[in-house]
């Protein structure tokens, strides 16, 4: 037999359950803009029913638990995609910087400097006796050398900057890993009693998302609730322990670069995804590749111009002189020989020693038509360098865009599970409000019933 | 799929951003008139565009080369024209001088005229373009021809005590120095005597000079005795690159015009001396050589004319080539303004529509309808 008191108890339970539900919905609304927040749901459950001869009668409602709405599979996909997208993002910005360094197409880029250099020789061929024309050659060659020097220096500077970014990124990886390990401890301790540590898990997931943008990680959740993180085949976080990512400074012959290592043995590793992979790829492969192509241009010009120049004669009949310093055959070291700059009459325009003969100047100007690098002329080769930069850069840009769209798509699917919808929360609130009002009404009904009974006494 | 307010908002922001980015690109293209700002804007055409820029730079340079070459040729042509006039005048003088109807005095006057022609011919042969001597081959900084009244080491074979003619008449008085086989200087008036006006010398009987021995004479003439070439040769070519890999010599050597078949300067000296000596026969004999000299100069003139014409044509061709190349660069790099303007219009509509949609959606919520 159920008494009136039991009815009151049911109403009281309902009042407190819907009050609690309202605060969960309210919290959802309050956190609608909070990054990393996953919406919560109060799990309502009927209380243990009383066994009566007429059947089982429910004894009201309880909030059994409050849980996060989250899809772990989508989290995994998101993180994998995030690593890819972040890699292209860091590459795209580096590529567009390389494009700025080359500065093509324009009338001031290296292409024009090369044309000006050849044309200066033609100008000298027009007036081999003239000091002015010799000055034009010296200036043209100096401008061309300096263009190469400064391009190489800017690329080198880019590498140094990327190295700085790599160091900073490794620092971020370590600090994120440490915080995740801490949160693992909090989750494990907190969930011993059975309830889900929603806020801590949200924070941990947000840090994992962030980490996935830096390096390619895989996350496995253990039974105790802790998240194990691996990077490639290397463990990064295991329960509350972390393996730290290290840096080993070494010289690659030009500048000091930091190699990424892991663990106490300082094994060198190369992350396959994330911002760090993009930075390493740009620093160690892409930029050095463009530098070596500029080196090839420098070497081809120095060697061939010098070879032709040595056969010619200066105004005083001097022969066998090098026009470019033969020691400088790279983009960073190419320069006009000091003795030429000191005495412009040494510029050997003449084949026979006559000051009006300009066959050597014409021969040097004619080098622009010769295949000096493989089967390409200097200008063809430079065109192909700029062309391949354009192709690579636009490939990376469109890759970044499509990876970004895919990331956006996955984020949408994830958001569809975990995100807060104000409309939905409002509807829930209204439903809870009505339930609360009805339960309150029930209290007053039972109150009246009790009054009725009491007044009859 | 469940749609949350965050998703709606993020979607709207993304769409507005990309609409605005497209709008901004079109706007930049219109403002700058360019379509390609960096290699990745059009990787397919960037190499071509670089190559065409290099070609255009070459073409502009060829135009400058041709301009300089034409200046050189014009100076040469004017000078060779003068030379041709000089040789023609020489011929007229020689015809007069060879005639039997004129006397010694008139011949001397003609000889003076020839002396002036020698000066003019030397001036023409030393023509400069800027600082450069155009007929000096590759030795453009050296004045190629210079007149000299001095003769040294002319052989004088002592025979009898009769007069021996020296190469030049009208000698500067007291300028003659005679040396013996051992280099010893003989004494004028004791060993020999000189006829300075007619340029003759003879041994004095009783002097120290021996018949049959060879002596050498140094002297100065009052007029030009010879014209010397101051450079090793004038064959060196002055080349201009007038088209891709095409070298065009734009000079003609002085020797080619003046001494390839007949040495024009010695011819003039010969005629002048013959006139001074009142020797009509020698002048007459020189007429054939004068014709040969005229042919020689005319051939040079023809060569210069042909070169000028051919590089003039090349220059016109380069002019149109440069226009074509500029057009190509423009078509590869420049924006089609009409097309971009239409695109811009469309993008502006799209952007405004996105904004309008955003303002509607963002303002709508269940809250608006709850009382």
Closest-CA residue of chain A to B7? A412
Same domain, B136 and B184: no
Would you say B321 and B69 are in contact if contact means Cβ atoms under 8 Å apart?
Answer: no
- In a domain, residue B16? The reply is no
Chain B CB contacts of A354 under 8 Å are: 137-140, 231, 236
Would you say B246 and B230 are in contact if contact means Cβ atoms under 8 Å apart?
Answer: no
pLDDT at A265 over 80: no
Same domain, B303 and B230: yes
Question: At A182, is the secondary structure helix, strand, or coil?
Answer: helix
What pLDDT, in 10s, does the model give residues A89-125? 999 999 999 999 998 888 888 999 999 999 999 999 9
* Most confident stretch, A4-18, A43-57, A74-88: A74-88
What CATH number should be reported for the domain holding residue B66?
Answer: 1.20.1330.10
Same domain, B240 and B129: yes
Residue A293: the pLDDT is 95
pLDDT at B8 over 70: yes
Closest-CA residue of chain A to B134? A356
Question: At B191, is the secondary structure helix, strand, or coil?
Answer: coil
Split at pLDDT 50, 70, 90, the class of A324 is very high
**Residue B126 has which token pair?**
């030393």
From B3, B46, B333, residue closest to A416, measured CB to CB: B3
Selection from A431, A442, A440 nearest residue A21 by Cα:
A431
From A105, A126, A411, residue closest to B46, measured CB to CB: A105
Using the 3D structure, point to which of B220, B248, B274 is the last residue of a domain: B220
**In the predicted model, what is the mean pLDDT of residues B186-197?**
87
| Contact residues for A129 (Cβ-Cβ < 8 A; gap 6+) | A315, A355, A356, B131, B132, B140, B141
Lowest mean pLDDT among A20-24, A190-194, B153-157, B247-251: B153-157
Same domain, B207 and B126: no
Same domain, B70 and B128: yes
To probe the interface with A, which of B15, B21, B38, B328 has the most A CB atoms within 10 Å?
A: B38
Residue A28: the pLDDT is 94
- In a domain, residue B238? The reply is yes
Same domain, B138 and B249: yes
B2: contact with A, CB 8 A cutoff? yes
Same domain, B157 and B228: no
Same domain, B229 and B142: yes
CA B86 to chain A, closest CA, distance in angstroms equals 27
Would you say A321 and A189 are in contact if contact means Cβ atoms under 8 Å apart?
Answer: no
Q: Please give the backbone phi and psi of residue B156, each rounded to the nearest 5 degrees, phi first.
A: -135, 105
Same domain, B124 and B183: no
Question: At B146, is the secondary structure helix, strand, or coil?
Answer: strand
Between B299 and B155, the more confident residue is B299
B246 strand-pairing partners: B243
For chain B, the average pLDDT equals 90
Same domain, B138 and B254: yes
Same domain, B128 and B230: yes
Chain B CB contacts of A122 under 8 Å are: 61, 64-65, 241
Q: How big is chain A by its Cα radius of gyration, in Å?
A: 37
B363: contact with A, CB 8 A cutoff? no
A390: contact with B, CB 8 A cutoff? yes
Residue A269: the pLDDT is 87
Chain B CB contacts of A105 under 8 Å are: 36, 39, 46, 49-50, 53, 333
Would you say A457 and B44 are in contact if contact means Cβ atoms under 8 Å apart?
Answer: no
- In a domain, residue B126? The reply is yes
- In a domain, residue B270? The reply is yes
Split at pLDDT 50, 70, 90, the class of A61 is very high
A144 strand-pairing partners: none
Chain B CB contacts of A432 under 8 Å are: none
Integer Cα distance of B294 and B266 in angstroms: 14
CA A349 to chain B, closest CA, distance in angstroms equals 11
Interface touch A354/B139, C-beta < 8 Å: yes
Size of interface A-B (CB pairs under 8 A): 194
Using the 3D structure, point to which of B220, B244, B267 is the last residue of a domain: B220
From B14, B50, B133, residue closest to A379, measured CB to CB: B50
Integer Cα distance of B224 and B218 in angstroms: 15
**In the predicted model, what is the mean pLDDT of residues B362-369?**
84
Q: Exposed/middle/buried for A351, CB within 10 Å: 0-12, 13-18, 19+?
A: buried
**In the predicted model, what is the mean pLDDT of residues B57-65?**
92
Split at pLDDT 50, 70, 90, the class of B207 is confident
For chain A, the average pLDDT equals 92
Element (H, E) at B107: helix B104-125
Provide, rounded to the nearest whole percent, the portion of chain A with pLDDT above 90: 77
B369: contact with A, CB 8 A cutoff? no
pLDDT at B19 over 60: yes
Interface touch B53/A102, C-beta < 8 Å: no
Interface touch B40/A122, C-beta < 8 Å: no
CA A29 to chain B, closest CA, distance in angstroms equals 11
pLDDT at B161 over 70: no
B184 DSSP assignment: P
Chain A CB contacts of B241 under 8 Å are: 122, 125, 362, 365-366
Integer Cα distance of A162 and A148 in angstroms: 21
Element (H, E) at A236: strand A234-238
Split at pLDDT 50, 70, 90, the class of A233 is confident
- In a domain, residue B345? The reply is no
pLDDT at B187 over 60: yes
Chain A CB contacts of B245 under 8 Å are: 366, 369
What pLDDT, in 10s, does the model give residues A359-401? 999 999 999 999 999 999 999 999 999 999 999 999 999 999 9
pLDDT at B370 over 90: no
Whole-Å CA distances, A337 to A119, A151, A313, B213, B270: 19, 20, 16, 62, 54
pLDDT at A1 over 60: no
| Angle B74-B78-B82 from CA coordinates, rounded to 5° | 165
Provide, rounded to the nearest whole percent, the portion of chain B with pLDDT above 70: 99
- In a domain, residue B340? The reply is no
Same domain, B142 and B100: yes
| Angle A230-A233-A238 from CA coordinates, rounded to 5° | 30
Domain range for B180 is 153-220
Provide, rounded to the nearest whole percent, the portion of chain A with pLDDT above 70: 100
B21: contact with A, CB 8 A cutoff? no
Would you say B362 and B11 are in contact if contact means Cβ atoms under 8 Å apart?
Answer: no
- In a domain, residue B199? The reply is yes
From A128, A365, A380, residue closest to B51, measured CB to CB: A380
Would you say A92 and A400 are in contact if contact means Cβ atoms under 8 Å apart?
Answer: yes
The total domain count for chain B is 2
Integer Cα distance of A196 and A67 in angstroms: 7
**In the predicted model, what is the mean pLDDT of residues B50-74?**
92
A376 strand-pairing partners: A373
Chain B CB contacts of A130 under 8 Å are: 130-131
Residue B160: the pLDDT is 65
Would you say A183 and A203 are in contact if contact means Cβ atoms under 8 Å apart?
Answer: yes
**Residue A102 has which token pair?**
């080359």
What pLDDT, in 10s, does the model give residues A403-435? 999 999 999 999 999 999 988 999 999 999 999
Using the 3D structure, point to which of B202, B220, B238 is the last residue of a domain: B220
Interface touch B141/A423, C-beta < 8 Å: no
Residue B301: the pLDDT is 94
Among B residues 223-282, those touching chain A with beta carbons less than 8 Å apart: 231, 236-241, 244-245, 247, 251
Would you say B126 and B315 are in contact if contact means Cβ atoms under 8 Å apart?
Answer: no
B368: contact with A, CB 8 A cutoff? no
- In a domain, residue B21? The reply is no
């Amino acid at each position: 037999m159920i008494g009136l008191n039991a009815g009151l108890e049911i109403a009281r339970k309902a009042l407190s359950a819907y009050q609690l539900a309202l605060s969960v919905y309210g919290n959802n609304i309050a956190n609608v803009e909070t990054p990393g927040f996953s919406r919560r749901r109060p799990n309502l459950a009927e209380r243990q029913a009383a066994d009566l001869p007429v059947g089982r009668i429910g004894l009201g409602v309880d909030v059994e638990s409050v849980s996060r709405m989250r899809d772990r599979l989508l989290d995994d996909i998101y993180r994998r995609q995030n690593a890819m997208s972040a890699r292209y993002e860091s590459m795209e910005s580096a590529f567009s910087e390389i494009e700025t360094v080359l500065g093509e197409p324009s009338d001031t880029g290296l292409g024009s400097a090369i044309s000006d250099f050849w044309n200066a020789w033609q100008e000298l061929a027009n007036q081999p006796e003239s000091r002015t024309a010799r000055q034009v050659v010296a200036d043209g060659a100096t401008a061309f050398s300096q263009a190469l020097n400064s391009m190489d220096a800017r690329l080198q500077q880019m590498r140094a900057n990327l190295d700085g970014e790599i160091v900073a990124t490794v620092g971020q990886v370590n600090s994120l890993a440490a915080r995740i390990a801490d949160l693992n401890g909090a989750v494990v301790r907190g969930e011993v009693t059975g309830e889900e540590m929603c806020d801590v898990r949200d924070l941990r997931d947000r840090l994992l998302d962030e980490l996935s943008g830096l390096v390619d990680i895989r996350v496995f959740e253990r039974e105790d609730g802790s998240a194990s993180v691996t990077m490639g085949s290397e463990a990064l976080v295991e329960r509350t322990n972390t393996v730290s990512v290290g840096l080993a400074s070494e010289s690659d012959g030009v500048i000091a670069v930091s190699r990424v290592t892991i663990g106490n043995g300082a094994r060198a590793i190369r992350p396959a995804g994330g911002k760090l992979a993009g930075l390493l790829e740009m620093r160690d492969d892409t930029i050095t590749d463009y530098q070596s192509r500029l080196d090839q241009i420098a070497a081809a010009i120095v060697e061939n111009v010098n070879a032709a120049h040595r056969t010619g004669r200066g105004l005083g009949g001097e022969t066998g002189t090098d026009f470019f310093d033969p020691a400088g055959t790279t983009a960073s070291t190419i320069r006009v020989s000091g003795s030429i700059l000191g005495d412009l009459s040494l510029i050997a325009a003449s084949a026979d020693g006559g000051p009006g003969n300009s066959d050597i100047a014409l021969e040097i100007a004619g080098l622009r038509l010769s295949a000096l690098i493989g089967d390409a002329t200097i200008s063809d080769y430079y065109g192909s360098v700029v062309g391949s930069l354009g192709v690579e850069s636009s490939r990376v840009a469109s890759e970044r865009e499509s990876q970004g769209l895919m990331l956006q798509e996955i984020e949408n699917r994830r958001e569809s599970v975990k995100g807060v919808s104000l409309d939905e929360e409002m509807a829930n609130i209204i439903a809870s409000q009505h339930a609360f009002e009805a339960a309150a009404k029930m209290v007053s009904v039972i109150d009246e019933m009790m009054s009725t009974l009491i007044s009859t006494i | 799929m469940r749609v949350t307010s965050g998703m709606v908002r993020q979607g709207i922001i993304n769409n507005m951003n990309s609409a605005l980015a497209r709008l901004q690109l079109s706007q930049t293209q219109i403002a700058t008139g360019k379509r390609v700002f960096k290699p990745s804007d059009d990787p397919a055409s960037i190499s071509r565009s670089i190559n065409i820029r290099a070609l255009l730079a070459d073409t502009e340079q060829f135009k400058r080369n041709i301009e300089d070459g034409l200046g050189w040729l014009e100076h040469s042509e004017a000078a060779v024209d003068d030379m041709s006039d000089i040789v023609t005048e020489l011929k007229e003088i020689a015809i007069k001088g060879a005639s039997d109807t004129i006397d010694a005095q008139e011949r001397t006057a003609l000889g003076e005229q020839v002396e002036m022609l020698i000066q003019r011919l030397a001036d023409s042969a030393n023509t400069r373009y800027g600082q450069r001597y155009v007929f000096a081959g590759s030795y453009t900084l050296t004045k190629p021809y210079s007149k000299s009244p001095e003769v040294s080491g002319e052989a004088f074979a002592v025979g009898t005590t009769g007069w021996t003619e020296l190469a030049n008449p009208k000698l500067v008085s007291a300028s003659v120095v005679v040396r013996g086989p051992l280099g010893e200087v003989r004494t004028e008036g004791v060993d020999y005597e000189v006829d300075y006006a007619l340029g003759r010398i003879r041994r004095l009987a009783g002097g120290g000079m021996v018949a049959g021995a060879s002596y050498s004479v140094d002297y100065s003439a009052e007029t030009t005795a010879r014209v010397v070439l101051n450079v090793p040769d004038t064959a060196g070519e002055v080349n201009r690159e007038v088209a891709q890999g095409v070298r065009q010599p734009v000079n003609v050597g002085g020797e080619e015009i003046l001494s390839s078949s007949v040495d024009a300067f010695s011819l003039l000296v010969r005629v002048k001396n013959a006139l001074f000596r009142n020797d009509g026969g020698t002048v007459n004999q020189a007429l054939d050589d004068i014709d040969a000299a005229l042919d020689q100069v005319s051939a040079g003139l023809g060569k210069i004319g042909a070169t000028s014409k051919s590089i003039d044509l090349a220059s016109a061709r380069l002019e149109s080539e440069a226009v074509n190349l500029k057009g190509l660069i423009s078509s590869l790099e420049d924006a089609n303004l009409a097309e971009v303007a239409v695109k811009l219009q469309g993008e502006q509509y799209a952007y405004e529509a996105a904004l309008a949609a955003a303002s509607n959606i963002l303002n709508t919520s269940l809250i608006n309808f709850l009382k």
